[in-house]
Amino acid sequence: MASASRRVTQRDIARLAGVSQATVSLVLNNRADADVRIAPETRERVLQAIADTGYVADPVARRLASRFNRIIGVFTYEPAFPSGTRDFYHPFLLGIEEYAERVGCDLLLFTSAPVVDGRRRVFHQDNRLRLADGCILLGREIDGTELRRLNADGFPYVAVGRRDDAGGPVPYVGAGYAEAVGRLVRLSLAAGHRRLVYLGMGLTAESSADRYRGFQEYAAGAESARHIPGTGQDIDTLLDGLLADRATVVLAEDFAHAVALEQAARRRGLTVPGDLSIVTLGDPTVAVPSDVAFTGFHIPREEMGRQAVKLLADLVDGSVSGVPQRLLPCELVEGETLGPRIRRSTAAERRP
C-alpha cells in the first residue's frame, strides 16, 4: 500500500495491480489503445487497486488525457547535471517530476542544444520543442530574446523564476524574494541594527534585483544601508571594509560568501553574531561545508517545480486565461547568526 502521508499515484496503482502505468491510464480514461487490448481480468485488477487505495485522478490529468501527447519539455540554460551534491537544478527537477507523475505526463529533457559559453539556447538549428505539449524553462538568467520569440510563436511555456525581459508578460512561477529579504531586514532593525550591508553577487537576474529591492525598501529607515559586491576582492579585505564601516549585520546574497565571511571573522577572534551578524538570502546552490546554522530563508524550489507543471498544464489545455504569474513565499530560517546589536569592542580593549 502507498503511504498515507502522500498522494496515491498511478505508479502505485500499477505496482499493486501488477500492470504498467500506461495500462492504468487507459483504464482510468476508459480507453483502449489501438495496439493493446486490456483483458477484463486485468481491468478488474486495476479497478480493485483503485478502490482499495481510494485513488482519485488529478483533474489536470483528466483534462490532458484525451487531447494532448502529455509530454512536458524541460529546458535548462546551464547543464542540468553538475557534479556537486547541492546543485541549482536538483530541487526544481524533483518537484517537476513529482507533479508530472501525478498528472500522468512524461518529461522530455532537451539536451541537444549545444552549450556555448556555458549556456544553451532554446532556438538552434535542430530544436525539438514541438515534440512536447509545452516547456518549462530553468536558468539563473534566461535570454530575453528567446522569451520574446516564444511569446510570438504562441508556444506554451512557463519560466521558473520571475522574468520581465520579454517585451511582454511572461508566465512564471517564482519566489517572493523581496518580501523574504524585507522580513530579515525588519528582524535586523528590531534587534537594534542600524548599519546594514547588502553583499551582492553582481548578477543582473531578476532574482537578484528582487532581493536588493526588498533590502532597499525595508532598510530605508536605517542609519546606513550599503550595497557592496561580494566578488572581486578577497574575504579578509572585505571584512576589513565592513569593520571600518562599523557595519553590524551583513545580508549575503550568496551562501558561499556568508560561510567565508563567518570563517574569516572567527579567525580574527570575532564572534558571530556577537561582533557581526550574518544573514543568508537563500539556500546554497553548490556544496559549501559549514556547521553553522545561518539565519536566512529557504527558497521553495520543489514547490516551484510542482507549480510550474501545474501552470503549464493549465496553459496547454486552455483552462487559464491571460498570462499567469505566481510568486511563492519563502520560509524563514531563524538560525543562530542574527543577534542583538552590541557595542563592538576595539582591538585595544581585547588585549589582555
pLDDT digits (tens, 9 = 90+) for 292-301: 999 999 999 9
Residue 174 has pLDDT above 70, yes or no: yes
Question: Which pLDDT value is given to residue 56?
Answer: 66
Least Cα distance to 90 among 156, 21, 160, 158 occurs for 160
Confidence of residue 85 (pLDDT cuts 50, 70, 90): very low
More confident site: 350 or 179: 179
For the chain, what is the total number of helices (H) and then of strands (E)? 12, 12
| pLDDT tens digits along 130-170 | 888 899 999 887 888 889 988 888 889 999 999 987 778 99
Question: Which pLDDT value is given to residue 204?
Answer: 80
Tell me if the bond preceding 273 is cis, omega within 30° of 0: yes
Comparing 6-20, 64-78, 133-147, 251-265, the range with the smallest average pLDDT is: 64-78
More confident site: 208 or 204: 208
CA 313 to chain centre: 19
Residue 252 has pLDDT above 70, yes or no: yes
Question: Which pLDDT value is given to residue 166?
Answer: 77
H-helix segments, the chain: 10-17, 21-28, 40-53, 59-65, 90-102, 144-153, 177-190, 206-218, 235-244, 255-267, 301-317, 347-350
Residue 329 has pLDDT above 80, yes or no: yes
Confidence of residue 351 (pLDDT cuts 50, 70, 90): very low
More confident site: 217 or 51: 217
Question: Please, are residues 226 and 245 in contact by the beta-carbon 8 Å criterion?
Answer: yes
Confidence of residue 36 (pLDDT cuts 50, 70, 90): low
Residue 62 has pLDDT above 80, yes or no: no
Domains detected in the chain: 10-57 (1.10.260.40), 71-170+301-329 (3.40.50.2300), 177-295+334-350 (3.40.50.2300)
| pLDDT tens digits along 333-349 | 999 999 998 755 544 33
Residue 172 has pLDDT above 90, yes or no: yes
Comparing 54-68, 117-131, 209-223, the range with the smallest average pLDDT is: 54-68
The position carrying cell 552590541 is 342
Percent of the chain with pLDDT over 70: 86
In angstroms, rounded to a whole number, what is the distance separating the alpha carbons of residues 222 and 289? 33
Non-local (6+) Cβ contacts of 282 within 8 A are 177, 211, 253, 255, 296, 297, 299, 330
3-state secondary structure of 341: coil
